[in-house]
Amino acid sequence: MNKIKSFQDLEIWKNSKDLSVCVYKLTQKDKFNRDFGLRDQIRRAVISIPSNIAEGFSRNNNNELIQFLRIAKGSCAEAITQLIIAKEIDYLSEMEFNELLIKLETLSDEIGKFINYLRTKRKNKEFLPK
């Protein structure tokens, strides 16, 4: 396993960045693009995910990284909510909706697993002799 030197080495950052690009492209479609409120809100939610991962990682502190990962996970839930609304008002096809939903749910799960890993690592270190 390669050592992680930068937030750009994290798979969750790569996946969330790719998801953001995908959402930006999908929201350029006619109906969606004209709904400035929903378009801008879902864009802000998805771009918040890789941004918070990057900021948390750059703090060089696991406690702060965990906090920023929680925010990123919350942004996944926000984006899922907006995605559901976009589908219900026919801004997205069933296929587009399902593809994005799976990506967001998977990403949220991956972030949750990383948070748990960091918590376990922190707890284990607390019991190591100095």
The structure's pTM equals 0.90
CB atoms within 10 A of CB 6: 10
Residue 128 to residues 50, 118, 120: CA-CA distances in angstroms? 33, 16, 13
The pair of three-digit structure tokens given for residue 9, joined into one six-digit string: 């080495």
pLDDT the model gives residue 121: 80
pLDDT tens figures, 14-45: 999 999 999 999 999 989 999 999 999 999 99
pLDDT the model gives residue 128: 35
CB atoms within 10 A of CB 29: 14
pLDDT tens figures, 91-130: 999 999 999 999 999 999 999 999 999 998 866 554 333 3
Q: What are the boundaries of each domain within the chain?
A: 11-116
CB 80 within 8 A of CB 101: yes
Residue found under tokens 């942004």 = 75
Residue 91 to residues 44, 55, 95, 108: CA-CA distances in angstroms? 17, 32, 12, 23
Q: In the chain, how many H helices and how many E strands?
A: 5, 0
pLDDT tens figures, 41-88: 999 999 999 999 999 999 989 999 999 999 999 999 999 999 999 999
Q: Which fold has domain 11-116?
A: de novo design (two linked rop proteins) (1.20.1440)
> From CA 9, how far away is CA 18, in angstroms rounded?
14
